[in-house]
């Protein structure tokens, strides 16, 4: 079943071999992040674990407020105050990142893990030229002269599709369009050849027409350089087109982790199912109300004993067990890992 | 491109009763209660401390603080505590009057200029610029000289200087609001302009206005004292903090510090506490510092 | 860009025009007869009538305004009845002392405000920020004339660290040759070290007290600006590229904060003027502030009017300059979009 319009992703036709027999590049274990606000502690990320391998493209999907961005920021120690990592570990090629001081984590950011942000319009310092910011980014990690760094920057700008980079590099951010700024930011994120690229909703703020181009560019660049990609999004179309495996995030937890094919073929968790039901296929869409998941996500500052999805769940709504006992992660026969007492990956069985 | 029709997360807004808010913010509670105590003391103090602030007693001049005169007496034997209380009343009432007159006038001007635009706006902006380019104390001083030195003249002068200050901030906010979708859609639906103005624009100005009133109050109390110090504010026998400092300054350096000391302390406390509270309130009402600039 | 400059210039001129009308009407036509005020209560009606005529007070308002502006443009600020000098020469004589004091106050206020706010924001701890807030609230609430008295009592009379209220130099100290009129600068130019130290020693206390108010509002403004900028996405992005905290702060956060201080320049100026008006007298400082304070007591309206108008013009000039610098410094206004 296809949930998407055809998008001109060059990546789709490319053969992709994820190397999973080696050690993972990034290994996350029990990562937990809280925000201590005046009205209570918000548990934004709760015991998240996953492994990321070389060349892998991993998606993290969820509604707004499910903790996706907090997770992305936790990976590189950039959780904004009053947020803080309270537990778990993030290992990059075996090196622990949680608890590193500013000097230590700064060496990792940009060099080993590159980030692409949601809003390219706000992501560049408006008082400095693209060139200044780019050269700065390169010279933090590489011992090259400003002149060499500028030449490297021009090459990278050309690679991401900026025309006439020698002239455009002297321009200020406001002289670039949103799509162009995101290209520049992608170029800056990969300038130091990081092993992992984390893209946090990189196209949400862009025009629909430029979204596909930017995604295409991101996929192409990661493929050519062999970076692993973590794509954070609420757009299932992107996931199906671009990613090998998916983690569905709900209320700060991964409720289902599986391969893209298995998730789209036979979603196991009732929440994943509901999400897929909400995807509208313009070709077959009927008139009338848009499908939506009834109810609203739980308050993240309350740690309820049962399953966080219970009040919205078609299966668990009336089950005592779902209301009182939190489902632990368990692996299903098809390989998916699910946090649900009743999930199974046999289509039709659970629902 | 397809996307999950994602329901927006709505964190249920919790009721935040004022009392629990205060309990959490100890510093605010402390400053608020200090200021309240100060205001209450100056307003009802004269009822408790029944000594006439202008009762001259040449038999008890320049007495140091004692039980009979907790803040001592001045060079004509007047009780400093009674005068500090009376002076506080003058300052606080004048400060409130200035803050209120300025707020009302500034708000009307801002609503007119912001909603009518065109020449009305140009005229008001020119007027406010022409007034704001005088330092507040100088303007009030000139007005007090032109009229009759005294609290009334100073209140007129400082209100005249505070009104453009309100107007400038509020006008920007009115214009911003008229550009916002919720106002534009009400206009597009054919709501009466007055209704739009009072039901949809005005309520958003209130918190900003309150914050500015606090800032204006503090500045006004200080300016009033400064003019009193220069001899243009309250005239004897009215007790006023600034004027009391002038009276006491020749004795201050020779050891009778209490005559100018206590009114100065009252001034410092009243204005600093107001500033601290306004500061804290600004953080709650305007966390990003968009509306109110430090003055 | 050129358009912007002309527009700003037009607004500035219109403002000065409005201010001059204001200053003129205020001191000429509002109740209270300036001639009577000058001649004194004992003067006969005839004497007052003669004085009115000589002052041109019998002409109609427009003619009076025209004459007034005309003489202003010729550099004639009127005549000070209380001192028997022309206001112009009084100003010229008093200006250097105030400028010297004001400059030092500006430097103290800006340096202290930027340092204190930077430390409080950069440290990320609670207590430096609390300390700054309390300090700036106290500075904002302190009546400068009272603090001046207090400082004199404690620091100069009791502890003897600073000189008493004796003006710009200790009695008997050699006056430097008059070049700029600022004693510290002139003394340096003439190589008179003793005079320089003495003049500087007299400057510091009044300068710090005048700087209190400006420090309070600048430090708040800068602190809020820094905290606002720290929340900007580009700061997180710079960190994500591997920049450490200090470079992010010095290269991407502080410039935005400093740029935001520019619009406050005119307010800073008004604060300084008000400060010197209230503090100079206490220290016996022979500047514009104490001159104005004396003129008020003497009801010398020509002096007050000149000071009022000059203050307004300077305010407009300062804000125009700050505005233009801001336009030139910010690439978003300097360079058009492509």
Q: Is A146 on the interface with B (CB under 8 A)?
A: no
pLDDT-based confidence at residue A124 (cuts at 50, 70, 90): very high
What gap in Å lies between CA A243 and CA A227, rounded to an integer?
13
Distance CA A241, CA A264 (A): 11
User: Mutate which of A278, A281, A302, A311 to test chain B, going by most B C-beta atoms within 10 A?
Assistant: A278
d(CA C30, CA C305) in angstroms, rounded, equals 13
Q: Which of residues 191-250 of B touch A (CB under 8 A)?
A: none
> Where does a domain end: C265, C287, C309?
C287
Contacts of A107 in chain C (CB under 8 A): 242
Within this chain, do residues C164 and C262 fall inside the same structural domain, yes or no?
A: yes
CA angle C212, C218, C223 (to 5 degrees): 125
User: Mind listing the pLDDT tens digit of every residue in chain C (338 residues)?
Assistant: 678 888 889 999 999 999 988 888 877 755 556 666 666 666 777 777 777 777 666 777 788 888 888 888 887 888 887 788 888 899 999 999 999 999 999 999 999 999 999 999 998 888 898 899 889 989 988 899 999 999 988 898 888 888 888 888 888 888 888 888 888 888 888 888 888 999 999 999 999 999 999 999 899 999 989 988 998 999 999 999 999 999 999 999 999 999 988 888 888 888 888 888 899 988 989 999 999 988 888 878 888 888 988 899 999 999 999 988 888 888 888 876 55
Interface check for B17 against chain A (CB to CB < 8 A): the answer is no
- Asked if B130 and C264 come within 8 Å (Cβ–Cβ), the reply is no
pLDDT in tens, C93-152: 999 999 999 999 999 999 999 999 999 999 888 889 889 988 998 998 889 999 999 998
User: Would you call A4 and B2 a contact, using CB atoms and an 8 Å cutoff?
Assistant: yes
Secondary element (H or E) of residue C199: helix C193-230
Rounded Cα distance between A164 and A167, Å, is: 6
Cis peptide before B237 (omega within 30 of 0): yes
Tell me if C87 is assigned to some domain: no
Quote the tokens at residue C315: 């305010």
Residue B11's pLDDT band (cuts 50, 70, 90): very low
Distance in Å, alpha carbon of A244 to nearest chain B alpha carbon: 18
Domain co-membership, C170 together with C24? no
| In a shared domain, residues C144 and C173 | yes
Nearest to C296 among B222, B232, B274 (CB): B232
- Nearest chain A residue to B6, by CA: A63
> Are A39 and B16 in contact (CB < 8 Å)?
yes
User: Coil, strand, or helix at residue A4?
Assistant: coil
Q: How far, in Å, CA of C252 to CA of C229, rounded?
A: 9
Residues C198 and C132 in one domain: yes
What integer pLDDT is reported at residue A19 of this predicted model?
Answer: 63
Least CB–CB distance from B1: residue in A38, A235, A300: A235
Work out the average pLDDT over A290-311: 80
C89 in any annotated domain: no
Domain CATH for C244: 1.10.3720.10
CB pair distance less than 8 Å for A275 and B4: yes
**Are residue C187 and residue C74 in the same domain, yes or no?**
no
Residue numbers of the domain that contains C142: 94-287
Give the rounded percent of residues in chain A with a pLDDT score beyond 70.
Answer: 89
C240: nearest CB among A115, A133, A176: A115
Residues C101 and C70 in one domain: no
State how far residue C239 is from chain A, nearest Cα, in angstroms. Answer: 7
Count of C-beta atoms within a 10 Å radius of residue A103: 9
Residue contact B130–C270, C-beta within 8 A:
no
Q: How far apart are CA A168 and CA A158, in angstroms?
A: 10
Residues C220 and C254 in one domain: yes
Contacts of A146 (CB under 8 A, 6+ apart): A135, A139
The Cα of A283 is separated from the nearest Cα of chain B by a number of Å equal to 11
Which of B84, B122, B134, B163 to mutate against chain C (most C CBs within 10 Å)? B134
| Stronger pLDDT, A35 or A297, i.e. the higher one | A35
Neighbouring chains of B at 3+ CB pairs within 8 Å? A, C
Q: Confirm whether C88 is domain-assigned.
A: no
- As beta bridge partners, residue A51 has A27
CA dihedral (C75, C80, C84, C90) positive or negative: negative
Q: Which residue of C has its CA nearest to A168?
A: C338
Q: Which residues contact B63 (CB under 8 A, 6 or more apart)?
A: B69, B72, B73, B77
Residues C325, C280 share a domain = no
> Which chain C residue is nearest to residue A192, measuring alpha carbons?
C241
* Average pLDDT value for chain A: 84
In a domain, C132, yes or no: yes
> Under a CB-based contact definition with an 8 Å cutoff, are residues A206 and A120 in contact?
yes
Contacts of C337 in chain A (CB under 8 A): 174-175
Q: Which of C247, C262, C287 is the last residue of a domain?
A: C287
Chain B residues with CB-CB distance to A279 below 8 A = 2-5
What is the predicted ipTM? 0.86
Per the structure, the count of domains in chain C is: 2
Q: Distance, in angstroms, between B111 CA and closest chain A CA?
A: 32
Tell whether C57 and C2 lie within a shared domain. yes
Contact C242 A185 (CB under 8 A): no
In a mutational test of the B interface, the residue from C11, C134, C137 whose CB has the highest number of chain B CBs within 10 Å is C137
Any A CB within 8 A of C231 CB = yes
Q: Which residues of B fall within a CB distance of 8 Å from A4?
A: 1-2
Count of other CB atoms within 10 angstroms of residue B293: 18
Residues C252 and C317 both lie in one domain: no
Let me know if residue C293 belongs to a domain.
no
pLDDT at B248 over 90: no
Flag whether C170 is in a domain: yes
CA angle C323, C129, C251 (to 5 degrees): 50
**Radius of gyration (C-alpha) of chain C in whole angstroms:** 24
Nearest CB partner across the interface for B11, out of A5, A66, A299:
A299
Q: What is the pLDDT of residue B21?
A: 55
Distance from CA of C188 to the nearest CA of B (A): 33
Min Cα distance B184 → chain A (Å) is 24
Residues of chain A found within 8 Å of residue C330, distances taken between Cβ atoms? 126-127
Considering only CB atoms, A78 lies closest to which of C234, C239, C255, namely: C239
Shared-domain flag, residues C208 and C336: no
Would the CB atoms of C270 and B242 count as touching at under 8 Å? no
Query: DSSP strand E in chain A: where?
Result: 26-37, 40-52, 57-61, 83-92, 95-96, 113-116, 196-200, 228-233, 245-250, 253-259, 330-331, 337-338
Decide: A47 and A31 in contact? Cβ < 8 Å.
Answer: yes
A218-266 pLDDT tens trace: 888 888 888 899 999 888 888 888 888 999 999 888 999 988 888 888 8
Cβ of C141 within 8 Å of Cβ of B274? The answer is yes
Tokens standing for residue A126: 């408006």
Residues C128 and C1 in one domain: no
- Is A127's CB within 8 Å of C232's CB? no
Tell me the shortest Cα–Cα distance from C262 to chain A, in angstroms: 15
Residues of B in contact with C27 (CB under 8 A): 142, 145-146
Question: How far does the CA of residue C236 sit from the closest CA of chain A (Å)?
Answer: 7
Computed over every residue of chain C, the mean pLDDT equals 86
* Any domain includes C292: no
């Amino acid at each position: 079943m296809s949930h998407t319009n055809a998008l001109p992703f060059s990546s789709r036709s490319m053969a992709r071999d994820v190397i999973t027999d080696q050690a993972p590049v990034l290994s996350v274990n029990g990562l937990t992040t809280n925000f201590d606000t005046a009205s209570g502690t918000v548990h934004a990320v709760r015991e998240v674990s996953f492994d990321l391998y070389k060349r892998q493209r991993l998606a993290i999907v969820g509604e707004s407020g499910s903790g996706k961005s907090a997770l992305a920021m936790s990976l590189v120690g950039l959780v904004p105050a009053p947020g803080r990592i309270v537990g778990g570990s993030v290992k990059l090629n075996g090196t622990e990142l949680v608890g590193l001081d500013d000097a230590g984590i700064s060496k990792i950011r940009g060099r080993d893990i590159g980030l692409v942000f949601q809003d390219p319009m706000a992501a560049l310092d408006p008082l400095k030229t693209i060139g200044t910011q780019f050269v700065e980014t390169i010279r933090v990690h590489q011992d090259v002269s400003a002149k060499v760094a500028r030449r490297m920057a021009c090459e990278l700008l050309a690679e991401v599709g900026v025309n006439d980079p020698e002239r455009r590099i002297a321009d200020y951010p406001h002289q670039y369009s949103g799509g162009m700024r995101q290209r520049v930011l992608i170029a800056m994120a990969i300038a130091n050849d990081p092993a992992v690229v984390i893209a946090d909703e990189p196209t949400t703020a862009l025009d629909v027409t430029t979204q596909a181009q930017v995604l295409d560019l991101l996929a192409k660049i990661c493929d050519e350089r062999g970076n692993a990609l973590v794509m954070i999004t609420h757009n299932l179309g992107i996931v199906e087109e671009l990613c090998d495996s998916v983690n569905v995030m709900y209320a700060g937890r991964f409720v289902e982790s599986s391969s893209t094919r298995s998730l789209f073929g036979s979603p196991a968790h009732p929440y994943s199912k509901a999400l897929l039901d909400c995807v509208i296929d313009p070709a077959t869409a009927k008139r009338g109300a848009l499908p939506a998941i009834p109810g609203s996500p739980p308050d993240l500052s309350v740690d309820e004993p049962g399953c966080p999805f219970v009040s919205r769940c078609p299966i668990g709504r009336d089950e005592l067990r779902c209301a009182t006992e939190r489902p632990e992660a368990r692996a299903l026969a098809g390989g998916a890992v699910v946090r649900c007492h009743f999930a199974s990956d046999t289509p039709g069985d659970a629902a | 491109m397809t996307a999950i029709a994602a329901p927006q997360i709505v964190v249920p807004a919790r009721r935040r009763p004022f009392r629990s808010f205060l309990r959490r913010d100890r510093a605010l509670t402390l400053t608020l209660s200090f200021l309240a105590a100060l205001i209450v003391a100056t307003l009802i103090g004269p009822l408790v401390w029944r000594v006439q602030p202008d009762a001259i007693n040449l038999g008890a001049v320049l007495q140091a603080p004692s039980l009979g005169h907790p803040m001592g007496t001045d060079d004509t034997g007047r009780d400093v505590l009674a005068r500090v209380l009376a002076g506080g009343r003058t300052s606080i009432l004048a400060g409130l009057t200035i803050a209120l007159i300025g707020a009302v006038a500034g708000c009307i001007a801002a609503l007119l200029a912001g909603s009518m635009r065109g020449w009305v706006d140009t005229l008001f902006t020119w007027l406010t610029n022409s007034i704001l380019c005088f330092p507040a104390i100088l303007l009030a001083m000139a007005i007090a000289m032109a009229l009759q030195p005294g609290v009334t003249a100073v209140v007129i002068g400082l209100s005249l200087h505070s009104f453009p200050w309100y107007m400038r901030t509020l006008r920007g906010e009115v214009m911003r609001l008229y550009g916002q979708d919720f106002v534009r859609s009400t206009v597009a639906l054919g709501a009466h302009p007055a209704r739009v103005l009072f039901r949809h624009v005005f309520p958003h100005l209130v918190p900003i206005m309150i914050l500015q009133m606090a800032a204006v109050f503090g500045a006004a109390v200080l300016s009033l004292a400064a003019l009193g110090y220069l001899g243009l504010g309250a005239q004897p026998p009215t007790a006023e903090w600034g004027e009391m400092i002038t009276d006491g300054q020749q004795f201050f350096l020779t050891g009778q510090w209490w005559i100018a000391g206590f009114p100065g302390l009252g001034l410092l406390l009243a204005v600093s506490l107001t500033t601290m509270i306004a500061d804290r309130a600004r953080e709650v009402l305007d966390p990003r510092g968009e509306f109110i600039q430090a003055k | 860009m050129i358009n912007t400059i002309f527009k700003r210039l037009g607004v500035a001129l219109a403002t000065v025009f409005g201010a001059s009308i204001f200053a003129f009407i205020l001191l000429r036509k509002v109740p209270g007869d300036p001639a009577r005020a000058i001649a004194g209560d004992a003067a006969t009606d005839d004497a007052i009538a003669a004085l009115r005529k000589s002052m041109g007070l019998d002409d109609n308002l427009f003619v009076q305004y025209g004459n007034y502006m005309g003489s202003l443009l010729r550099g004639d600020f009127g005549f000070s009845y209380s001192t028997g000098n022309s206001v112009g020469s009084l100003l010229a004589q008093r200006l250097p002392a105030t400028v010297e004091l004001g400059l030092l106050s500006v430097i103290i206020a800006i340096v202290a405000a930027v340092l204190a706010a930077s430390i409080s924001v950069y440290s990320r701890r609670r207590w430096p920020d609390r300390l700054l807030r309390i300090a700036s609230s106290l500075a904002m609430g302190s009546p400068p004339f009272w603090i001046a008295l207090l400082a004199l009592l404690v620091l100069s009379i009791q502890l003897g660290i600073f000189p008493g209220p004796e003006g710009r130099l200790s009695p008997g100290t050699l006056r430097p040759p008059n070049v700029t009129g600022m004693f510290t600068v002139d003394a340096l130019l003439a190589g008179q070290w003793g005079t320089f130290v003495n003049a500087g020693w007299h400057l510091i206390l009044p300068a710090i007290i005048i700087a209190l108010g400006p420090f309070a509002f600048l430090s708040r403004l800068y602190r809020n600006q820094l905290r606002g900028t720290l929340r900007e996405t580009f700061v997180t992005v710079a960190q994500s590229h591997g920049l450490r905290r200090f470079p992010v702060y010095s290269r991407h956060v502080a410039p935005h904060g400093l740029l935001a201080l520019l619009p406050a320049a005119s307010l800073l100026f008004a604060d300084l003027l008000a400060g010197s008006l209230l503090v100079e007298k206490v220290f016996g400082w022979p500047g514009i502030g104490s001159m104005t304070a004396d003129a008020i007591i003497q009801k010398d309206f020509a002096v007050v009017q000149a000071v009022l108008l000059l203050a307004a013009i300077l305010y407009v000039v300062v804000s125009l300059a700050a505005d233009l610098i801001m336009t030139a410094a910010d690439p978003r206004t300097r360079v058009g979009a492509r």
